[in-house]
Amino acid sequence: MKKHLPVNLDLPVRSYPNYVYIFGILEGDYEPWLYSNFLQLVHTETGWFDFLVPQFLHEEDLLIRHYSYLPANKTVDNKQSIINMIIEMINNDFYVTGIFNDYYVSFRPHYKQWDFDHFFMINGYDNENRLFNVVSYTKEIVLKEEKISFDDFIIACNNLISPTLELIFYKQNKTFKLEFNINKTKKYIEDFLNSINTTRLKQAGLYGIEALNSYRKFGIDKRFFSLTRIYVIYEHAKLVVNLTEYLINNKYIDDDEKILIENIKRIEKMGELLKFIRIKMDFVKSNLIFSKIIDVLNTLISLEEGHLKLLLEKLKG
Amino acid sequence: MKKILFINQNPPIKSISKVAYALSILLEYPSDYLYLINNFIDLKCDINGNNIEFVDKAINFSNHNLFTTYSIKIPTQSIVNIGNDILNLILNLINDGYYVHGIANLIDYYDRSYLIYGYDDDKKILHTINHVKEGFYGKSILTYDNYLNSLKLNDKNSYIGFIRKLNNNTHNVSILDIKGQIQNYAYIHNDSSILQGKNVFKKQIELLSNTKKYEKIEMKPFNILVEHKRLMADRIKYLIYTKGLDQKYLQKYQNIIKKAVYINNSCKMYNNSLNNKQIPLIQNNIQLLLKEEFLILDEIIESYNSKKI
């Protein structure tokens, strides 16, 4: 017996796995919904920089969610129970996310040097050949579907650095409507520009423009910009571009003077440039590259701020 | 193969299942009883007098200083399909020292929650402790089949928790903390959503007036009443033997326990007779108990203030 659940690997946002795997399973055109909900950024006191992921993403209004938390070092002892539980959940159309130790995963040779707990998503199985279908990140931050044997999977879970084997089972709640919401969009643009958080998800940290500036300062002080976090900034810029196009195309605003279109072309260009230079930074260690990232980042932040102000003015009519 | 883990079948709090289970695992050695000295001093309930609970410093399975916990929550239908796998998981984890806790539709049992502390694979049975009937917290035996069948009767989702006691705890008793909590209990300090301290049973007096004709009284608050007084007496005993509190307070407090037991018995008698004339008597006895208890606790606080302890 086998079963394979569909996954979309071409995603508009793919910086961090806590929302990426969820986007991967959503059916229908959810991008307009994304524009209303993925505008806010947060830089927490602990140094975490990311989108402020809406609370409902992890609640039962968007997802039907179940879980299994078991002692990781007992995975081998409970091997068949855990495999059968995963298969049972897939048979009921649940995807399975969790963390395993990449050191023990054959298709992740670049982690062969050290133990590393990494996110995965199981979206299928083949009982006859004793294989799971697993989606996970490659080292280039690209999602890819691979196969892992039941045995290797169990060993990779049994050897987690974390004491807990976390398996989260979820599927889309089809009654939840993924729709664009203009009022929410206006509110979140305003929040972003005022650097405040009015959602019910409370995290101690800085928001919006202040979050961007604070991460930029953090990078300059530490003389390091993480690739994944630069991806967050790049993807945020991309979403601002897509949102603007959506608003124009759906006649929420007009852009007769073509100012907004010009703005988003420049934002898009700066976003791409930022990503490109950051990737280059891994190969060319020089002060020049580092200064270039700071320059591009400064320009991008100021472009986004100016553009969102104009967008908000137009939306308020 | 069989395995039986330690279980204290007579914890000092039985009226609240989740506390009873935690204490059944926790109270293994005499020194573990020190948990009770600093805890369970105050009481609380909601503004309508429902959901009476002890105020404690998280003596429950979510407290990661006391317990290691794991859990699964899956659709009940899946438990039906992979019941034997779940059972194997449970037996393996019991072998590793984990107790198993959850909710199941245990037919003929008073409480739907259970705690499994052992199994015997030859006899295909699980050893459990729970409220088999009202007011009786004790050990019982479930066959594998009965257990799995009762899980199948759960609502949409089924939860199973795996709990192991941590053995690296030290029990520090803070005398000032006890004083603070006794003051909290004795003097009124409600917020807008909950009632605390003496007001919990003042509210019960009020609720008793609303008892309809031929309606039974819920016994849980009055079981808590007795447990609360017994624990307070143990605390006073501790203060006498370790901190020099005057012996007379224990003698005085023994009377409070007697009164609490009397009130509890009166409620049981009322439930048998449903004679409404007994209600004012019960209300009056609670009133007297609270008054007398307050005087004793006030004197104990005075002993603190005058540095007699």
ipTM of the complex: 0.85
Q: Is the pLDDT of residue B154 over 80?
A: no
Q: For chain B, give the mean pLDDT.
A: 91
Considering only CB atoms, which chain A residues are within 8 Å of B76?
none
- Answer for the pair B100, B93: CB distance below 8 angstroms, yes or no: yes
* CA atoms of B282 and B247, how far apart (whole Å): 30
| Structure confidence at residue A118 as a pLDDT band (50, 70, 90) | confident
Query: For residue B108, what pLDDT is reported?
Result: 65
Are A70 and B89 an interchain contact pair (Cβ–Cβ within 8 Å)? Answer: yes
Q: Is the pLDDT of residue B170 over 80?
A: no
- pLDDT tens string A121-159: 999 999 999 999 999 887 677 788 999 999 999 999 999
Q: What is the mean pLDDT of residues A280-293?
A: 85
The Cβ-side half-sphere exposure at A9, using a 13 Å CA radius, reads 15
Q: Is the pLDDT of residue A51 over 80?
A: yes
DSSP for B186-242, written as a single string: HS----SSEEETTHHHHHHHHHHHTPPTTPPPPSHHHHHHHHHHHHHHHHHHHHHHH
- Token pair 């054959």 is found at A106
| Structure confidence at residue A100 as a pLDDT band (50, 70, 90) | confident
Q: Is the pLDDT of residue A101 over 80?
A: yes
The dihedrals phi and psi of A10, each to the nearest 5 degrees, come to -100, 90
For B75, the closest of A66, A71, A84 (CB atoms) is: A66
Q: What is the mean pLDDT of residues A90-111?
A: 85
- pLDDT tens string B62-83: 988 899 999 999 999 898 889 9
- pLDDT tens string B174-195: 888 898 899 989 887 667 789 9
Cα dihedral A188, A193, A196, A201 in deg (nearest 10): 30
Query: For residue A53, what pLDDT is reported?
Result: 80
Q: Is the pLDDT of residue A271 over 80?
A: yes
Considering only CB atoms, which chain A residues are within 8 Å of B96?
71, 74, 77
Are B93 and A169 an interchain contact pair (Cβ–Cβ within 8 Å)? Answer: no
- pLDDT tens string A218-250: 988 888 888 888 989 999 999 999 999 999 999
Q: What is the mean pLDDT of residues A192-204?
A: 88
User: For chain A, what is the radius of gyration of the CA atoms?
Assistant: 21
Q: Dihedral sign for Cα B88, B93, B95, B100, please.
A: negative
- Token pair 């317990």 is found at B67
* CA atoms of B20 and B11, how far apart (whole Å): 6
Q: Is the pLDDT of residue A215 over 90?
A: yes
Q: What is the mean pLDDT of residues B258-274?
A: 96
**Interface subset of A 147-166, CB within 8 angstroms of B:** 164
- pLDDT tens string B270-289: 999 998 889 999 999 999 99
For B148: left if phi > 0, alpha if psi spans -120 to 50, otherwise beta; the answer is alpha
Query: Domain boundaries in chain B?
Result: 2-38+67-165, 175-305
Query: For residue A227, what pLDDT is reported?
Result: 84
Which of the following CATH numbers is that of domain B2-38+67-165: 3.90.1580, 1.10.3470, 3.90.70, 3.30.70? 3.90.70
| Structure confidence at residue A58 as a pLDDT band (50, 70, 90) | low
Q: Is the pLDDT of residue B109 over 70?
A: no
Are A67 and B71 an interchain contact pair (Cβ–Cβ within 8 Å)? Answer: yes
| Structure confidence at residue A59 as a pLDDT band (50, 70, 90) | low
CATH of span A2-27+63-172:
3.90.70
Query: For residue A105, what pLDDT is reported?
Result: 80
C-alpha closest to that of A246 among A23, A31, A10, A24: A31
Are A81 and B85 an interchain contact pair (Cβ–Cβ within 8 Å)? Answer: yes
- pLDDT exceeding 70 applies to what percent of chain A? 95
Closest CA in chain A for residue B164: A71
Are B72 and A71 an interchain contact pair (Cβ–Cβ within 8 Å)? Answer: no
Assign B136 to helix, strand or coil: strand
Q: For chain A, give the mean pLDDT.
A: 90
Q: What is the mean pLDDT of residues A103-125?
A: 80
Question: Is some CB atom of chain B closer than 8 A to the CB atom of A171?
Answer: no
- Maximum separation of any 2 CA atoms in chain A, in Å: 68
